Amino acid sequence: MTETSKRFPAALYSQGTDPDARFSLANERTFLAWIRTSLALIAGGIALEALGLNLHGGFRLAASMVLIVAGIAAPLQAWFGWVKTERALRHDTPLPPARLTLPIGAAVSVAGILVFLGVVLA
């Protein structure tokens, strides 16, 4: 068994050539940052609902759900972004865009607006 076939995902590592390790490690750090973001979004959504703050109930629940759904989407960005970036590094092609940054950013903005409305209308 070759060293490349022991790495996961083997189909990715069997392509192209190994890039400078610093770039692969930076890609991994970006993956982990997305995972941290996911945990923070989910924890924020749970906390918003669990703490029972003095917000209008419907707005509080809606903001919580938006944050939790965004937190569920962030690991998808983490994984697919990592794979696409690693593939681009291995083939020395331009780096791909992060596709879910706008939807996740919009979700955080919507959650903020819902919390604001929940405070104002409470």
| Contact (Cβ atoms closer than 8 angstroms) between residue 86 and residue 24 | yes
- Checking if the pLDDT of 2 tops 80, the result is no
Domain total of the chain:
1
Which residue in 73, 95, 77 sits closest to 19, CA to CA?
95
Tell me, what DSSP letter sits at residue 56? -
58: containing domain:
20-120
Answer whether residue 107 is part of any domain: yes
Average pLDDT estimate for 54-77: 94
Looking at residue 5, its pLDDT comes to: 62
What span, in angstroms and rounded, lies between the C-alpha atoms of 57 and 72? 23
Answer whether residue 6 is part of any domain: no
Answer yes or no: pTM beyond 0.75. Answer: yes
Answer whether residue 7 is part of any domain: no
